[in-house]
Amino acid sequence: MIVIFAHNNSPRGGANIKVDGELTIKKDYYPWVNESFIGKYKKDVSLLSEGQYYFLSYQAPKARQVYFEPILHTAFLVSSVGPKVKEKGNFAGFTYPDGSSEFVARAKPDFLKLQTIRTGRARDCFTVGRYANCPDRRPQLLSDWLPEPGKPGYGRYVVADEWGNTLPSYFYRLIGENDQVFRGLTELNGRTEPLPNNVHPLRKAEFPERVW
């Protein structure tokens, strides 16, 4: 079993994300230009990611390889200017790629704001604890084909969101290589109904937003 903690200050036990098969971790980074005046003037450039107050833990029981893929979004520069006088109510000013700005008592730019600016998605879509409220959960089929016990010639797929969480009661429409169409609703563990082996591998998977 491989368990990876992005930060070691987790207030909870267990992993946020459980993954079947190999583990690939993709992390977003944004260029950040910070200008400060109090004490000694300095201007520096760094890479902003989720930060020390936001952690993710991964559990991958079947993984033999772990891949880390940093993604740098150079077109989304965020800048900040610190106060020139140390007085109560003087805060740093942050300017974001969309032209918006804010003066707040925060040491770093708002990472989730950058994510929403770049993607147009809601903040909840980037927060594990609130992901259930994300309006676009981006369902996908996990690659593993699970043979059905006691039913030779049949197996199942698992439908999961982009964080690897299984999606129960989720509508799907699967098209096999021979153009067979299978519609259904996932079970509580995210699995499809038993499907014949000749449907695997699939030609297309769709997840309609409405009931047929």
The residue written with tokens 């996990």 in the block is 142
Q: Would you tell me how many other CB atoms lie within 10 Å of the CB of residue 57? A: 19
- Sorting pLDDT into bands at 50, 70 and 90, what band is 212? very low
8 A C-beta contact, residue 140 and residue 170: no
8 A C-beta contact, residue 137 and residue 164: no
Render 165-191 in DSSP notation, one character per residue: -B-TT-EEEEEETT--EEEEE--TTSB
* pLDDT given for residue 30 in this prediction: 95
Region 149-173 average pLDDT? 90
* pLDDT given for residue 200 in this prediction: 78
Mean pLDDT value across the chain: 83
Residues 21, 175: Cα–Cα separation, whole Å:
24
Is the model more confident about 209 or about 182?
A: 182
* pLDDT given for residue 178 in this prediction: 83
* pLDDT given for residue 159 in this prediction: 94
Render 52-118 in DSSP notation, one character per residue: TT---EEEETT-S-EEEEEEE-TT--EEEE--SS--TT--EEEE-TTS-EEEES-SS--HHHHHHHH
Residues 76, 109: Cα–Cα separation, whole Å:
12
* pLDDT given for residue 14 in this prediction: 53
* pLDDT given for residue 58 in this prediction: 66
- Sorting pLDDT into bands at 50, 70 and 90, what band is 85? confident
- Joined together, the tokens standing for residue 165 give 């969480």
Is the whole-model pTM more than 0.75? Answer: no
8 A C-beta contact, residue 76 and residue 114: yes
CA distance to 163, 173, 176, per residue, from 155 (Å): 23, 16, 13
Quick check: 11 pLDDT over 60? no
Quick check: 123 pLDDT over 90? yes
